[in-house]
Structure 1
Amino acid sequence: MGTSGQVIKCKAAVAWEVDKPLSIEEVEVAPPKAHEVRVKIVATGICRTDDHVLKGSFPNIDYPVIPGHEGAGIVESIGEGVTCVKPGEKVIPLCVPQCGECSSCLNPDTNCCLKTHLYESQNLMPDKTSRFTCKGKPIHHFLWISTFSEYTVMPDSAIARIDDDAPLDKVCLLGCGFSTGYGAAINTAKVSTCCMCNGTIALLAY
């Protein structure tokens, strides 16, 4: 795309401090570095977790920060070494990364990648810097993906390519909300399909 390698100015919802409403601001989004992807967010969900960010419920969140962790969009540009996606492809940012290499990712019974915020803060990119700036001040990332911004940057371990025909306003929930409900029903409650519903399970995640 024509913006590849350039700083992009766009709108984002910024949480400047605890117990203050989100503020729509013009932010600058830097180009992706090695093993990073910049995405144009087309649709985003709003999760209770984002409300927890506004209320200061997480001790490891630094402010100001751009929340949002349910999203879907289109790859705008990629950094050196990225092979999992290409510019123009539809993607879902992942609030729990999947590096595919750590002991957790390689275990079929777990999905908490060792690069998650449980082990490493995701308020900044892995190199401990931010790709967001507003009014001359660095803005923190949220779970590496910050979907409350028209453009965002994330590590290539925190993104999944999806089908070109996927409706972005629907699949934006797959990154968090749907997977939470589906995992609880299938893995914990052991819900199974039945002949009465032709093998279909109706899940209400929230």
Structure 2
Amino acid sequence: MTSPEFANGETRGKIITCKAAVAYGPGEPFVIEQIHVHPPQNMEVRIKILYSSICHTDVSGWKGENEAQRAFPRIFGHEASGVVESVGKGVSEIKEGDIVVPIFNGECGECCYCKCEKSNMCERFGVNPMRKVMESDGRSRFSTIHGKPIFHFMNTSTFTEYTVVDSACVVNLHHVQTLNIKKLTLLSCGVPTGVGAAWNIANVHSGSSVAVFGLGAVGLAVAEGARASGASKIIGVDINPDKFIKAQALGVTDFINPREAEKPVYERIREMTNGGVDFSFECAGLSDVLRDAFLSTHEGWGLTVVLGIHTSPRLLPIHPMELFDGRRIVGSVFGGFKGRSQLPHFATKCGRGVVKLDDFITHELPFEEVNKAFDLLISGKSLRCLLHF
């Protein structure tokens, strides 16, 4: 893959002035303005962002739905692709000009979590929506032109022409020749989160039955992963009937609109599947939906995978004795993928057509129209809207 031409090293070690979408308060419109992006420090990478898309996690953080993570001004965004502008001291696996994607759930490769084959967590660089500064020195790499710090988000902050990311949160995809950089953007969050939940966490197998609650990009990625694994029945559950057309293209065989159901959704699913599905995936982030997903699985072996972001303080809507029926429930972060070591292989599979990426990109807009892109996602009219710089 050929790297876009830029800078030719002239900006290395210097403060870069560029455009960014800055949020100054919960739910306030983004302001496109000039900011300063400081050079990468030890084990950090400065990236020129070429494409960035929007995830519901960005919406949740921007709205300030979780009071504990409110920190403004802030640069949101965590799904993107770009080219390395410069690297800090100690960075050896990534070099200037490499095509990369930032990831919110990093992999340092050295901690006990990274060395454990059963986990894709990282002790130092795992997903942490509360973190708002760089890990190395507790300072931001962004500032207004007047010198006021601007906070980071989800280890990445991609709503800016340039960002600084810990090297543990950067995946080198420079040698993936079968995908263009636009499609690589999807590998930064949503698609591996959903597909990986089906492959790595649930281990969906040929002939199995699946229910997906919430048909946003992550839910449809689950469906696509289940389709690729040979699932015989994939039931999509969503209150927006318009999503079924797109869902069919990504493997969903049946559709349930809870608002039109005459009985609880889990009862409908049990009737459709002779007792319940083998696997259910909760992608909506709602406690009541989680209960439906759990009860829709088959007694004895049913597994529910939780992917939705639950901002409510409500606890699990499940009585402990209900677990004695043989149903299980587990959470999933980034689809169980270890980002730096396993995502390149996943990208290669996508390039071979194992996973269809084209259907996830529904809109493209210039970066300056980020507020419109948010409106499209919130209204349910887009899956992934790519912002190009």
Q: Could you state the TM-score of these two structures normalised by the residue count of structure 1? A: 0.90
Q: Hey, which of these two has a bigger chunk of helix by percent?
A: 2
* 2:142 aligned partner, one-letter code: F
Give the 3 Å change call, closer, same or farther, for CA 129–22 of structure 1 in structure 2.
same
1:181 match: 194
Structure showing greater relative contact order (alpha-carbon pairs closer than 8 Å, 6 or more residues apart): 1
**Contact conserved, 1:21 with 1:54, CA < 8 A, in 2?**
no
Residue identity over aligned pairs, in percent, reads: 40
Whether 1:6 aligns to 2:14 is yes
Whether 1:162 aligns to 2:173 is yes
3-state DSSP of counterpart to 2:69: coil
> Which of 134, 142, 145 is 2:153 aligned to?
142
* 1:98 aligned partner, one-letter code: E
Offset at 1:162? 0.5
Q: What is the CA–CA distance in structure 1 between the aligned matches of 2:354 and 2:127, rounded to whole Å?
A: 34
1:97 match: 106
3-state DSSP of counterpart to 1:33: coil
* 2:109 aligned partner, one-letter code: G
Give the 3 Å change call, closer, same or farther, for CA 141–104 of structure 1 in structure 2.
same
Q: What is the CA–CA distance in structure 2 between the aligned matches of 1:108 and 1:184, rounded to whole Å?
A: 16
**Contact conserved, 1:47 with 1:177, CA < 8 A, in 2?**
yes
Q: What is the CA–CA distance in structure 1 between the aligned matches of 2:128 and 2:159, rounded to whole Å?
A: 24
Structure 1: runs of 5 or more not aligned: none
Q: What is the CA–CA distance in structure 1 between the aligned matches of 2:355 and 2:15, rounded to whole Å?
A: 45
Whether 1:131 aligns to 2:141 is yes
**Contact conserved, 1:74 with 1:90, CA < 8 A, in 2?**
yes
**Contact conserved, 2:105 with 2:125, CA < 8 A, in 1?**
yes
**Contact conserved, 1:94 with 1:159, CA < 8 A, in 2?**
yes
Deviations 1:59-78 (A, max 9, x none): 22411110000011000001
Q: What is the CA–CA distance in structure 2 between the aligned matches of 1:201 and 1:153, rounded to whole Å?
A: 30
Q: What is the CA–CA distance in structure 1 between the aligned matches of 2:354 and 2:37, rounded to whole Å?
A: 42
- The alignment covers a number of residue pairs equal to 205
Alignment of 1:29-178 (within 5 A): 29-58=37-66, 59-116=68-125, 121-126=130-135, 127-136=137-146, 137-164=148-175, 165=177, 166-178=179-191
Q: What is the CA–CA distance in structure 2 between the aligned matches of 1:33 and 1:118, rounded to whole Å?
A: 21
* 1:122 aligned partner, one-letter code: R
* 1:82 aligned partner, one-letter code: V
3-state DSSP of counterpart to 2:140: coil
Offset at 1:184? 1.4
**Contact conserved, 2:104 with 2:127, CA < 8 A, in 1?**
no
* 2:162 aligned partner, one-letter code: Y
**Contact conserved, 2:129 with 2:153, CA < 8 A, in 1?**
no
Of 182-191 and 87-96, more deviation after overlay is shown by 182-191
Q: What is the CA–CA distance in structure 1 between the aligned matches of 2:63 and 2:108, rounded to whole Å?
A: 30
Q: What is the CA–CA distance in structure 2 between the aligned matches of 1:117 and 1:105, rounded to whole Å?
A: 10
Provide runs of 4+ in structure 1 moved above 3 Å.
116-121, 199-206
Structure 2: runs of 5 or more not aligned: 1-8, 206-228, 233-352, 361-382, 384-389
Bigger CA radius of gyration: 2
3-state DSSP of counterpart to 1:153: strand
**Contact conserved, 2:50 with 2:83, CA < 8 A, in 1?**
yes
3-state DSSP of counterpart to 1:105: helix
Q: What CA RMSD, in Å, does the superposition of the two structures yield over aligned residues?
A: 2.5
* 2:64 aligned partner, one-letter code: G
> Which of 191, 198, 204 is 2:204 aligned to?
191
Q: What is the CA–CA distance in structure 2 between the aligned matches of 1:201 and 1:161, rounded to whole Å?
A: 20
Q: What is the CA–CA distance in structure 2 between the aligned matches of 1:78 and 1:56, rounded to whole Å?
A: 32
* 1:172 aligned partner, one-letter code: T
Of 98-107 and 53-62, more deviation after overlay is shown by 53-62
Q: What is the CA–CA distance in structure 1 between the aligned matches of 2:144 and 2:12, rounded to whole Å?
A: 20
